[in-house]
């Protein structure tokens, strides 16, 4: 059963969707049991065999997978297909210890392109459009995903990757780009740069497809007004394929999950209990059409709410709210996944105690991160120049660890407030998850 692009599947009846999901789940569980000893063991620990999974009603019996499983099984332990049949790897942002790799066969890439094509079509895209892709290309899934999606629906594709703002704007004006794909913060930065250069009247954009990080409605309205476009949210994660797992339609009442390929559940993050529509919990995905890396009950850590009500756009696929937070401590700064533990490792390696604070802020829609760390009493007597050198060394180590610039401020011993309970290490002033 191969069900490519086929936009008509987006309006399939619930009965039809359930039939596809039943078939896909049974088939995937069998394949994973046969080919992935790691998951087979997890099933055996629960006393399960493939015969116990006959339909999606049995989904809740299956064990969850988490990022820790992916790390434990790194790199090939969850591969369900011989390596010879795999043609691509992508990886989440983060560092070596935290990296997660995902594998794709040609079929998996086609499926993913279909999902992204659907997202572009839902944003009003047609083959007449010029789609400027300024998500990063490379290990990150953003560039390749939207690129292949734009190809799939036949649009002219501008594979810009991220950065080099002057060149982005030049191509945008020269070629008359009509759809912009990038992170919302980069869209805001591009907008500002377009205004600074006085080029607003040369911009032909009609839509933006922005995701990979949380963004607010205010930010959406701001970009929309300034660029004269409609801005659409797009969601996804490397482990499940990349962008296009879910996307907004013109009704913008949540993001439609491509549930003919990915079964979505929302669970109570503490107990694992499956929650119903309207209840807030952690989003869990089961990929039922993938070959190389078909994760079963993968916990995304993204907190959201599902809604099965009919959408005015005619699509029947379930909708998810924007992520309303995360159930772990991962921060997304400038589109990069940052774990406080990575910062702590850098500080410890340089001889600091665990008295630090991470402050994340956003100015002009661009993220900034500052790490404040207490000097040890010995360092406190250092000359000012030595303090500056220490700060520089930390900036460089953090850059190597996180891949982004973080400002560092060494503060006096005992100046960071101690907590009696859980230490408040992260102060995120961006207020991103209010919807
Ligand atoms: O960010 C894939 C992607 C690329 C999505 C381009 C959309 C556009 P990862 O780097 O693996 O993959 O990060 C996945 O990013 O679990 C969410 O926490 C967050 N995220 C992704 N899209 C959104 C969004 C890509 N629209 C993690 N709103 C996910 C809020 C998002 N958070």
Give residue 34 CA to ligand 1 midpoint distance, Å: 31
Say if strands 230-237 and 130-133 run parallel, antiparallel, or are unpaired.
unpaired
As a whole-number percent, the residues of the chain with pLDDT over 70 amount to 96
Give residue 299 CA to ligand 1 midpoint distance, Å: 14
User: Which pLDDT score is estimated for 93?
Assistant: 65
Q: Mutate which of 91, 236, 284, 435 to test ligand 1's pocket (most atoms within 8 Å of Cβ)?
A: 236
Residues with CB under 6 A from ligand 1: 92-93, 135, 141-142, 211-214, 233-238, 242-243, 300, 302, 322-323, 326, 332, 337
Residues of the chain short of pLDDT 70, as ranges, are: 1-5, 93-98, 419-423, 434-435
User: Which pLDDT score is estimated for 2?
Assistant: 35
pTM (2 d.p.): 0.87
> Any idea of the CA torsion for 175, 177, 178, 183, to the nearest 10 degrees?
180
pLDDT per residue over 355-388, tens digit each?
889 999 998 888 999 999 999 888 887 788 899 9
User: Which pLDDT score is estimated for 434?
Assistant: 59
- The SS3 assignment for 78 reads coil
Atom of ligand 1 at shortest range from CA of 238? 11
Query: Structure tokens of 50?
Result: 């493939």
Give residue 351 CA to ligand 1 midpoint distance, Å: 34
Q: Mutate which of 92, 235, 322 to test ligand 1's pocket (most atoms within 8 Å of Cβ)?
A: 235
Q: Give CA–CA dist 142/135, Å, rounded.
A: 5
Give residue 425 CA to ligand 1 midpoint distance, Å: 23
pLDDT per residue over 205-216, tens digit each?
999 999 998 887
User: Which pLDDT score is estimated for 339?
Assistant: 84
User: Which pLDDT score is estimated for 379?
Assistant: 86
Q: Mutate which of 134, 180, 237, 302 to test ligand 1's pocket (most atoms within 8 Å of Cβ)?
A: 237
pLDDT per residue over 74-89, tens digit each?
999 999 999 999 999 9
What are the DSSP calls for 167-211, one per residue?
HHHHHHHHHT--EEEE-HHHHHHHHHHHHHTT-GGG----EEEEE
């Amino acid at each position: 059963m191969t069900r490519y692009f086929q936009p008509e599947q987006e309006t399939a009846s619930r009965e039809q969707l359930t039939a596809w999901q039943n078939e896909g789940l049974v088939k995937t569980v069998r394949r994973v049991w046969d080919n992935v000893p790691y998951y087979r063991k997890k099933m055996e620990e629960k006393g399960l065999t493939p015969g116990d999974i006959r339909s999606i009603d049995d989904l809740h019996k299956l064990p969850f997978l988490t990022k820790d499983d992916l790390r434990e099984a790194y790199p090939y332990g969850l591969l369900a297909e011989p390596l010879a049949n795999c043609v691509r790897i992508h990886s989440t942002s983060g560092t070596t210890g935290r990296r997660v790799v995902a594998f794709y066969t040609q079929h998996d890439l086609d499926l993913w392109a279909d999902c992204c094509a659907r997202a572009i079509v839902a944003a009003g895209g047609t083959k007449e459009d010029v789609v400027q892709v300024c998500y990063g290309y490379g290990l990150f899934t953003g560039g390749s995903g939207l690129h292949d999606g734009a190809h799939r629906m036949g649009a002219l594709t501008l594979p810009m990757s991220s950065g080099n703002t002057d060149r982005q704007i030049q191509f945008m004006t020269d070629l008359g780009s009509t759809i912009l794909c990038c992170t919302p913060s980069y869209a805001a930065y591009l907008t500002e740069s377009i205004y600074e250069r006085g080029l607003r009247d040369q911009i032909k954009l009609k839509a933006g497809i922005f995701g990979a990080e949380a963004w607010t409605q205010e930010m959406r309205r701001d970009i929309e007004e300034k660029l004269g476009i409609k801005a659409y949210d797009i969601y996804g994660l490397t482990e499940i394929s990349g962008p296009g797992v879910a996307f907004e339609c013109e009704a913008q009442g949540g993001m439609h999950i491509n549930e003919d390929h990915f079964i979505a559940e929302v669970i109570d993050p503490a107990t694992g209990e499956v929650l119903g529509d309207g209840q807030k919990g952690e989003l869990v995905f089961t990929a039922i059409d993938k070959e190389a890396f078909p994760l079963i009950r993968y916990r995304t850590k993204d907190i959201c709410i599902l809604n099965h009500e009919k959408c005015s756009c005619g699509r029947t696929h379930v909708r998810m709210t924007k992520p309303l937070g995360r159930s772990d401590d991962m921060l997304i700064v400038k589109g990069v996944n940052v774990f406080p533990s990575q910062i702590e490792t850098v500080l410890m390696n340089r001889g600091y105690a665990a008295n630090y604070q991470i402050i994340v802020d956003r100015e002009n829609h661009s993220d900034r991160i500052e790490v404040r760390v207490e000097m040890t009493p010995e360092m406190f007597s250092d000359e000012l120049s030595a303090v500056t050198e220490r700060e520089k060394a930390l900036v460089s180590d953090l850059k190597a660890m996180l891949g982004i610039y973080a400002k560092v401020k060494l503060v006096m011993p005992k100046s960071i407030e101690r907590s009696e309970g859980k230490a408040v290490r992260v102060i995120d002033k961006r207020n991103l998850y209010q919807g």
